[in-house]
Amino acid sequence: MKVTVHTCPYPWLNVPGHPCTRVIGALKAAGVEYGVVKNPLPRRKREKVGELSGQRLLPLIQFEDGVIYREQSKDMAATIRAGQLAEKDVS
Tell me the CA distances in angstroms from 53 to 8, 15, 24, one per residue in order: 15, 26, 19
| pLDDT for the residue 26 | 96
Within the chain, where are the H helices?
Answer: 19-30, 47-53, 73-81
Tens of pLDDT along the chain (91 residues) come to 899 999 999 877 778 789 999 999 999 999 999 999 999 999 999 999 999 999 999 999 999 999 999 999 999 999 999 999 999 998 6
Return the domain boundaries, the chain.
Answer: 9-37+56-86
**Whole-prediction pTM:** 0.91
CA distance 64 to 91: 11
**pLDDT at residue number 91:** 66
Q: How far is CA 55 from CA 1, 17, 60, 83, 87, in A?
A: 25, 21, 10, 26, 21
* Distance from C-alpha of 27 to C-alpha of 44, rounded to nearest angstrom: 27
